[in-house]
């Protein structure tokens, strides 16, 4: 198991360098000069321009700049925001819990709804239940997030008034952030109604964000289940006199989960991409909204830092998924 | 009363109005302590009929029978729960390919203990001890370390022993072995058959041995049932079938055995293949491949009749000299062999 872990870690290292190079080059590939951008419309005089170039290290060769940047990244220094002048990493860590909270809820929603849907579709293959769940998931998959989110807001918030339209918490509450996760913080604060408020703010963003992964998981689970249900060991399990439920939930699902888990890992990337839209629409104070704002202001260090951190998180999650893969599938664990 | 009584078992697939009969009104019985061999080429309905006994034929397959009784209880009429209590406990089955019969995600121990847990209960320690006993019984070397092995770490022969251990875990009274040696190499085949016969003998089990290997049943079985394209063609005591086959198909099968070929430099074969869903002959299902077939055989389908104490499905059963009886002249239509 340790060897497996180390091998997987080894795979991550080249990806790490690849991501840093891409993110670093981004600033040089975009056809605008960061110093000019900072100076704004009034412009900057050549002497000051040279000074600033020196200050930011833009006067050095590209390779040297990259290694300076890499050195900073390795020490947790992602530069300072052009706009707020605060370290990017600091802003990131303040906002990140909000995005995690939303993403975790989104993926939980996707798994909790998607897995059973896939299983139900598979065991009712070809019947109306199968067609229903699969056309629902196809609809969910085809629905653009911004459109779906607006529909949800229009229906549940505006028309029915069941859920709040935006934000993380009702304005009547003020919760001092301790963990940054609103659900936990409101619970810790002990303030009455705060937790319910936080939860109700989460519902629509969660659905909007989780729908596409849910559809993907449902479809993947279905096809994977169908494949496994045709295996001989399923017949053997049934020949043991096990209940159909046990055959499906234990013998089939365990095997069918292997490809599904990979897909769940891949969906985390999709989830962050979706978070950018979802957070913007729901005014959710997370990384997604932060990056969109930084983009509008051409705040390069923030964009770079944000993208880099998201890339790291996605890599981390996929590493974790690979390890899970080993836990579930003994053939992977024992491979030399 | 026989342990297992099958009367006119039929398994159909496909649409209701144009069904394909994979098994066509087959009847047989197995007694305790008896070995019944079911022989036939691939596609003759051997496996499907055994799956029907186990209750493993799924929609859209349809199983019907005049009666399908085990120990006096009709398997087809009992509720699913009661039937599950019998399958895996009193009736167990061993499948063809041991490499795919074990769930790759669970250890050997977990898979054997599961059967014990469902049918016999007991605590974990007892089940583990019993599993160890079983592994010893089926001749697994170093059973203790094999307990925690995963299927991918086992060889084919080893896997089949595990599958057997799993099947006999609850001391079944009837064991169905569906081509248990097909996927194994020859030396292992003999070991597995010896093991099965020993287990059968020790516990007085009924054994239903399904195979296309005639040589194998000749040694193992008390009685033999020859199947072709879903139909019963001939049945009777093993030694008498080998001494004097009554059905031309049985005769042809025996002639195709290397052990029986004498003097000929080429082994005799049966030309053609078993008819499938779309090329079923109108008359006798064997007619296109039978060396004795005449117009009568091509036009009409024979029923099973009693001939010298043996059930034979043929208009012209063979006599002791291996010649068809009752045929008026030598008007053979299909001169195929």
Q: What is the pLDDT of residue A217?
A: 94
Nearest to B119 by CA among B94, B89, B90: B89
Q: A236 or A38, which is more confident?
A: A236
Six-digit token string for B118: 């469902």
Map residue B311 onto helix, strand or coil. strand
Instruction: Please report which confidence band the pLDDT of residue B337 belongs to, taking 50, 70 and 90 as the band edges.
Output: very low
pLDDT averaged over every residue in chain A = 85
Q: Tell me the C-alpha distance between B159 and B166, whole Å.
A: 10
Spatial separation of the C-alpha atoms in residues A133 and B101, rounded to whole Å = 31
Coil vs helix vs strand at B148: coil
Confirm if B191 and A265 have CB atoms less than 8 A apart: no
pLDDT on residue A211: 92
**What is the number of alpha carbons within 13 Å of residue A262 lying toward its C-beta?**
9
Contacts of A330 in chain B (CB under 8 A): 104-105, 150, 152
Q: Across all residues in chain B, what is the average pLDDT? A: 86
Which residues on neighbouring strands pair with residue B35, listed in sequence order? Answer: B207
Report pLDDT for B14.
Answer: 82
Whole-angstrom Cα Rg for chain B: 21
More confident residue, A34 or A126: A126
Do B206 and B4 form a contact (C-beta atoms < 8 A)? yes
Give the closest residue to A219 by CA, choosing from A302, A139, A335.
A139
Query: What DSSP assignment string belongs to B14-79?
Result: S-SSS-EEEEEEEEEEE-TT-EEEEE--TTSSHHHHHHHHHT-PPTT-EEE-SEEEETTEETTTS-
Residue B330 pLDDT > 60: no
Phi–psi pair at A241, nearest 5 degrees = 90, 25
Cβ contact, residue pair B100, A233, below 8 Å: yes
pLDDT at B11: 92
Between chains, do B103 and A236 touch, taking CB under 8 Å as contact?
Answer: yes
In three-state form (DSSP H/G/I as H, E/B as E, the rest C), the secondary structure along B235-302 is EEEHHHHHHCCCCHHHHHHHHCCHHHCCCCCCCCCCCCCCCCCCCCCCCCCCHHHCCCCCHHHHHCCC
CA A46 to CA B311: how far, in whole Å?
A: 109
Res A35 pLDDT > 80: no
pLDDT tens digits along A236-268: 999 998 888 899 998 999 899 888 988 888 888
- What pLDDT shows up at residue A11? 81
pLDDT in tens, A304-329: 888 888 888 888 888 888 888 777 77
pLDDT given at position B35: 92
Instruction: Using DSSP, state whether B92 is helix, strand or coil.
Output: strand
DSSP letter for A168, please.
S
Q: What are phi and psi of B70, to 5 degrees?
A: -120, 120
Q: What is the mean pLDDT of residues B94-117?
A: 90
Chain B neighbors of A238, CB-CB under 8 A? 54, 56, 87
Rounded-to-integer distance, Cα A44 and Cα A149, Å: 43
> Which has the minimum average pLDDT: A280-284, B43-47, B246-250, B259-263?
B259-263
Q: Is A125 on the interface with B (CB under 8 A)?
A: no
Helix, strand, or coil (residue A103): helix
B204: left (phi over 0), alpha (psi -120 to 50) or beta: left
pTM above 0.90, yes or no: no
Average pLDDT for B140-165: 89
Do the Cβ atoms of A169 and A194 come closer than 8 Å? Answer: yes
Residues 216-235 (A) with a CB less than 8 A from some CB of B = 231-233, 235
Residues 6+ apart with CB under 8 A from A2: none
Tell me: pLDDT of A235 over 70: yes
- Where would I find the H helices in A124-243? 128-142, 145-152, 182-189, 194-229, 232-239
pLDDT at B335: 44
Task: Report how far residue A245's alpha carbon sits from residue A119's, in angstroms, rounded to the nearest whole number.
Answer: 11
Q: Is the minimum CB–CB distance between B148 and chain A shorter than 8 Å?
A: no
Q: What's the pLDDT score for residue B264?
A: 65
CA distance linking residue A87 with residue B29, whole number of Å = 84
Domains, chain B, ranges and CATH?
4-104+167-227 (3.40.50.300), 244-337 (no CATH)
**Percent of chain A at pLDDT above 70?**
98
Question: What is the biggest distance separating any 2 CA atoms in chain A, rounded to whole angstroms?
Answer: 86
Q: Which two tokens stand for residue A189?
A: 């604060």
Residues of chain A contacting residue B108, judged by C-beta atoms under 8 Å apart: none
What is each CA distance from A54 to A39, A78, A123, in whole angstroms?
15, 18, 66
Residue A2: which H helix or E strand, with range? Answer: helix A2-29
Q: What is the pLDDT of residues B263-317, one digit of tens each?
A: 667 788 888 888 887 888 888 999 888 888 888 888 888 988 888 888 899 998 8
pLDDT of residue A335: 58
Report the C-alpha gap between B159 and B192 in whole angstroms.
11
Residue B315 and residue B245 in contact, taking contact as beta carbons nearer than 8 Å: no
- How far does the CA of residue A108 sit from the closest CA of chain B (Å)? 24
| First-to-last C-alpha distance (Å) of chain A | 10
Residue A104 main-chain phi, psi, to 5 deg:
-60, -45
Contacts of A233 in chain B (CB under 8 A): 100-104
Cis-peptide, bond into residue B60, ω within 30° of zero: yes
3-state secondary structure B168-237: HCCCCCEEEEECCCCCCCHHHHHHHHHHHHHHHHHHCCEEEEEECCHHHHHHHCCEEEEEECCEEEEEEE
Contact A239 B88 (CB under 8 A): yes
Nearest CA in chain B to A328: B105
Which of B248, B239, B204 lies closest to B34 in space, CA to CA?
A: B204
Position B38 scores a pLDDT of 92
Q: Which of residues 183-212 of A touch B (CB under 8 A)?
A: none
**3-state DSSP assignment of residue A93:** helix
Q: Find all residues with CB under 8 Å of A198, minimum gap 6, and list them.
A: A168, A169, A182, A183, A185, A186
Give pLDDT, residue A65: 85
Chain A residues within 8 A of B54 when measuring between CB atoms = 238-239
User: Which residue in this structure is represented by tokens 């170039």?
Assistant: A53
Structure tokens belonging to residue B108: 């050997």
Q: Which residue has the higher pLDDT, B68 or A300?
A: B68
A221 contacts A119 by C-beta, under 8 angstroms: yes
Cβ atoms of A286 and A92 within 8 Å: the answer is no
Task: Give pLDDT tens digits for A95-107.
Answer: 888 888 889 999 9
Domains in chain A: ranges and CATH: 88-333 (1.10.3720.10)
Q: Is the separation of the CB atoms in A138 and A216 below 8 Å?
A: no
- What burial class does residue A286 get, using C-beta atoms within 10 Å of its C-beta: 0-12 exposed, 13-18 middle, 19+ buried? buried
Residue A181 corresponds to which tokens in the numbers above?
């996760």
Instruction: Encode pLDDT of A150-198 as tens digits.
Output: 898 889 888 888 888 878 777 777 777 777 787 888 777 777 778 888 8
Contact B114 A240 (CB under 8 A): yes
* B200 has a pLDDT exceeding 80: yes
- Cross-chain CB nearest to B104 (options A241, A243, A331): A331
> Average of pLDDT values for B144-150?
89
pLDDT per position as a tens digit, B210-252: 988 888 888 888 999 999 988 999 999 988 888 888 999 998 8
How large a percentage of chain B has pLDDT more than 70?
A: 96
Q: Give Cα A287 to chain centroid, integer Å.
A: 10
pLDDT value for A224? 94
Closest Cβ–Cβ partner in A240, A328, A329 for B115: A240
Nearest CB to A233 within list B85, B93, B102: B102
**Is the pLDDT assigned to residue A272 strictly greater than 90?**
no
Over 50: is that where the pLDDT of A336 sits? Answer: no
- Residue A190: both structure tokens together: 């002990």
In percent, the amount of chain B with pLDDT more than 90 equals 17
CB within 8 Å of B135: residues ≥ 6 apart: B108, B112, B143, B146, B147, B161, B162, B165
- Separation of alpha carbons B31 and A157, rounded Å: 72
């Amino acid at each position: 198991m340790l060897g497996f872990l180390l091998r997987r870690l080894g795979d991550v290292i080249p990806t790490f360098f690849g991501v840093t190079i891409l993110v670093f080059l981004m600033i040089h590939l975009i056809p605008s000069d960061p110093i000019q951008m900072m100076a704004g419309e009034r412009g900057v005089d050549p002497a000051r321009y040279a000074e600033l170039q020196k200050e930011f290290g833009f006067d050095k060769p590209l390779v040297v700049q990259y290694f300076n940047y890499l050195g900073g990244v390795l020490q947790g220094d992602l530069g300072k925001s052009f706009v707020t002048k605060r370290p990017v990493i600091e802003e990131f860590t303040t906002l990140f819990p909000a995005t995690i909270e939303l993403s975790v809820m989104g993926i939980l929603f996707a798994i909790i709804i998607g897995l059973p849907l896939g299983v139900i579709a598979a065991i009712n293959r070809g019947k109306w239940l199968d067609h229903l769940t699969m056309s629902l998931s196809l609809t969910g998959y085809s629905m653009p997030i911004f459109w779906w989110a607006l529909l949800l807001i229009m229906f549940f918030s505006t028309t029915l008034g069941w859920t709040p339209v935006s934000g993380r918490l009702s304005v009547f509450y003020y919760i001092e952030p301790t963990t940054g996760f609103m659900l936990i913080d409101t619970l810790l604060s002990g303030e009455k109604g705060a937790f319910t408020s936080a939860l109700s703010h989460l519902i629509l963003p969660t659905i909007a964000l989780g729908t596409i992964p849910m559809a993907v998981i449902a479809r993947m689970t279905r096809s994977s289940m169908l494949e496994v249900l045709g295996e001989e060991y399923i017949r053997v399990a049934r020949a043991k006199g096990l209940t159909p439920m046990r055959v499906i939930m234990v013998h089939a699902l365990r095997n069918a989960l292997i490809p599904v888990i990979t897909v769940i890992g891949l969906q985390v990337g999709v989830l962050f991409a979706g978070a950018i839209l979802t957070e913007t629409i729901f005014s959710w104070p997370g990384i997604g909204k932060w990056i969109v704002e930084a983009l509008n202001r051409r705040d390069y260090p923030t964009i770079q830092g944000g993208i880099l951190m998201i890339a790291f998180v996605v890599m981390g999650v996929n590493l974790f998924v690979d390890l899970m893969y080993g836990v579930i599938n003994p053939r992977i664990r024992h491979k030399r | 009363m026989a342990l297992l009584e099958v009367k006119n078992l039929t398994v159909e697939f496909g649409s209701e109005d144009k069904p394909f009969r994979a098994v066509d009104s087959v009847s047989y019985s197995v007694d305790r302590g008896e070995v019944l061999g079911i022989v036939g080429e691939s596609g003759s309905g051997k496996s499907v009929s055994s799956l029907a006994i186990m209750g493993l034929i799924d929609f859209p397959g349809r199983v019907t029978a005049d009666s399908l009784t085990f120990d006096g209880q009709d398997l087809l009429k009992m509720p699913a729960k009661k039937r599950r209590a019998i399958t895996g406990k009193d009736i167990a089955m061993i499948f063809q390919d041991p490499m795919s019969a074990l769930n790759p995600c669970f250890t050997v121990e977990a898979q054997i203990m599961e059967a014990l847990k469902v049918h016999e209960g007991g605590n974990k320690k007892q089940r583990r001890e019993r599993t160890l006993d079983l592994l010893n019984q089926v001749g697994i070397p170093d059973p203790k370390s094999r307990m925690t092995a995963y299927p991918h770490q086992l060889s084919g022969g080893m896997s089949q022993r595990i599958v057997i251990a799993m099947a006999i875990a609850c001391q079944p009274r009837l064991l169905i072995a569906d081509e248990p040696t097909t996927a194994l190499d020859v030396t292992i085949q003999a070991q597995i058959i010896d093991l099965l016969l020993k287990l059968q003998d020790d516990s007085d089990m009924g054994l239903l041995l399904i195979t296309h290997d005639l040589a194998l049943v000749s040694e193992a079985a008390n009685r033999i049932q020859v199947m072709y394209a879903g139909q019963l063609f001939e049945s009777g005591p093993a030694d008498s079938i080998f001494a004097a086959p009554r059905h031309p198909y049985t005769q042809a099968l025996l002639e195709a055995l290397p052990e029986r070929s004498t003097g000929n430099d080429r082994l005799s074969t049966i030309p053609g293949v078993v008819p499938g869903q779309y090329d079923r002959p109108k008359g006798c299902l064997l007619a296109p491949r039978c060396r004795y077939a005449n117009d009568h055989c091509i036009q009409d389908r024979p029923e099973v009749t009693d001939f010298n104490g043996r059930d034979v499905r043929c208009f012209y059963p063979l006599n002791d000299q291996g010649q068809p009886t009752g045929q008026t002249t030598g008007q053979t239509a299909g001169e195929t062999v």
